[in-house]
Amino acid sequence: MTKAVVFDIDGTLVDSVDLHARAWQEAFAKFGKQIPFDKVRYQIGKGGDQLMPVFFSKAELDEFGDEMEKYRGDLFKREYLPQVRAFPQVRALFERIKADGKRIALASSAKEDEVETYKKIARIEDLVEEQASADDAEKSKPHPDIFEATLEQLGDVRPEEVFVVGDTPYDAEAAGKAGLRTIGFLCGGFPVEDLRGAGCVAIYKDAADLLSRYDESILAQTTSAAAARD
């Protein structure tokens, strides 16, 4: 029986992937590298600790990595965060999941203060029971640390009783390393093939799509199967 659903945030609940990519692209240019937008965008979903080494050497990161990450963070909050909007029907989906008796948690590579802002944007503050951010993990996605932290916060919930919902292959990879199954959303811009290849067991366009098909979804099916056994 499914007892909890753990959501990624960026690209899953809020439309922020392009905005993050632009902020990183500007930061990289500030520190001497012109990286094509599509190459940066494909890395969104990772935290800075895993994203920056894709484009910069260890020596470069030792020299100015912390400064570059701070510059990017300040730039995003100043220029791009005010543009972030929630995807349609996020709150309604959360309400449906809660009505189904399931707990809801968040697991994001974003910093804690950004997570709090996103919750307000998506109007889900009162529907989230637990959350883990980059501040709770030694390494960000695709490492499992953030999901392991979320599981610890959920307490008496076993991995097989949890579904993750995310929009990137890094969500599915990280979740899989923590023993969790992942439902993929396409609203973050990653191809179906990449999500399936990373281990997603079901794929929907976005929150509105999952909500419209909830009764036939894997979330409802696992509840129905358990009820039938009882």
Is the domain of 70 the same as that of 180? Answer: no
Question: Domain total for the chain?
Answer: 2
Final residue of a domain: which of 33, 66, 83? 83
Is the domain of 124 the same as that of 66? Answer: no
Is the domain of 187 the same as that of 94? Answer: yes
Answer whether 106's CB lies under 8 Å from 131's CB: yes
Is the domain of 79 the same as that of 95? Answer: no
Cis status of the peptide bond prior to 142, with omega within 30 of 0: yes
Is the domain of 62 the same as that of 90? Answer: no
Summarised one tens digit per residue, pLDDT across range 198-223 is 999 999 999 999 999 999 999 997 54
Is the domain of 106 the same as that of 186? Answer: yes
Domain that holds residue 91: 4-15+85-229
Q: Which two tokens stand for residue 144?
A: 């499992």
Q: Which two tokens stand for residue 33?
A: 């590298």
Q: Please state the pTM of the whole predicted model.
A: 0.93
Final residue of a domain: which of 83, 118, 141? 83
Is the domain of 168 the same as that of 190? Answer: yes
> What is the per-residue pLDDT for 84?
98
Is the domain of 211 the same as that of 136? Answer: yes
Final residue of a domain: which of 42, 59, 83? 83
Is the domain of 50 the same as that of 110? Answer: no
Query: What is the C-alpha to C-alpha distance for residues 182 and 221, in angstroms, rounded to an integer?
Result: 15
Summarised one tens digit per residue, pLDDT across range 11-47 is 999 999 999 999 999 999 999 999 999 999 999 999 9
Query: What is the C-alpha to C-alpha distance for residues 63 and 57, in angstroms, rounded to an integer?
Result: 10
